[in-house]
Chains A and B, each alone.
Chain A
Amino acid sequence: MNAPFYIAAVVAFLSTFMVVTRRNAVHALLYLVVSLLSVALVFFLLGAPFVAALEVIIYAGAIMVLFVFVIMMLNIGRQTAEQEREWLNPEIWLGPAVLTLVLAGELIYVLSRMHGRAYALSVVSPKQVGIALLGPYVLGVELASMLLLAGLVGAFHLGRREGTGGERRP
């Protein structure tokens, strides 16, 4: 019964790898969507259907659409892809890759010392999540709402063009 998890994990890994290595932004974005969907599947398999739905709706839906809009606005085409080719030479890859592999190796080493024992998972229903979210974590919800508001104001402020969006003209 564990096969779906491992298949989803491999898909997620491979598609994420593709995200990081693509030259064309739109391609990378599509791979990221795949990666997010497979992670959503992993969530579902781990007994968390509510966040699996959120992953699909918000991550793979809303946030990715934002990226698509920006990429379209900036009109990144073949020219940029050519530039990417110049930027992505093996020497640039080497240092960060080694660093990250060391980090990943350390993580895996630590995890492998735990007893790799399977256990029964239980579904944590959306109802439970909702009760906990608006019960003990209500303060966090308020903070998150403020954060989103700040993000909204910040994005508006940064995104408007000088002399067009605001009342003040410089």
Chain B
Amino acid sequence: MISQVPFEHGLILAGALFALGLIGVMVRRNIIFILLSIEVMLNASGLAFVVSGSRWGQPDGQIMFIFILAMAAAEVSVGLALVIRLYHLYQSLDADRASRMRG
């Protein structure tokens, strides 16, 4: 069940998902949503790799996706731990509250 999709359409889908994730990171103030948006962006970049890999029938794209997956797992575990700490610190999930490093 192999589809005959133009390579560019896959990439456009990846770009669109990435753009949505980016909007989410910039717009949302809730840290949970920011993390979710980051997941979306990582997933979109992984999709771009897989699309490119399948264009030439090579496994490298999928391997890059696996690495991204590993990275995303590590990132989420640390990120969520930070969320918990932040919530204990500020009693809030507002990312803008954690701005002690402003210049």
Contact = CB atoms under 8 A, between A and B. Distances in A.
Interface of A: 1-2, 4-6, 9, 12-13, 16-17, 19-20, 25, 28-29, 32, 35-36, 39, 42-48, 50-51, 54-55, 58-59, 62-63, 66-67, 70-71, 73-74, 76, 80, 84, 87-88, 92-93, 95-97, 99-101, 103-104, 107-108, 111-112, 114, 116-124, 128-129, 131-133, 137, 140, 144-145, 147-148, 150-152, 154-159, 161
A51 B2 contact: no
Interface in B1-42: 1-13, 15-17, 19-24, 26-30, 32-33, 35-37, 39-40
Given A20-B23, A66-B77, A111-B15, A32 B8 contact: no
Nearest to B51: A46
A1 B5 CA distance: 9
Contact of B40 (A32, A50, A124, A157): A32
5 contacts: A20-B23, A51-B50, A51-B66, A67-B76, A96-B26
Contact of B54 (A48, A58, A80, A132): A48
- Of the listed residues B21, B67, B74, the one surrounded by the most CB atoms of chain A closer than 10 A to its CB is B74
Contacts of B37: 19-20
B16 A154 contact: no
Interface of B: 1-13, 15-17, 19-24, 26-30, 32-33, 35-37, 39-40, 43, 46-47, 50-51, 53-55, 57-63, 65-67, 69-78, 80-85, 87-88, 93
A120 B4 contact: yes
B16 A147 contact: no
B30 A80 contact: yes
Given A55-B69, A124-B59, 18 more contacts: A19-B36, A20-B20, A25-B33, A35-B43, A46-B3, A51-B50, A58-B73, A66-B77, A80-B93, A119-B6, A129-B63, A147-B74, A150-B74, A151-B74, A151-B75, A151-B78, A154-B78, A159-B85
Contact of B76 (A63, A84, A93, A122): A63
Contacts of A84: 30
Contacts of A120: 2, 4
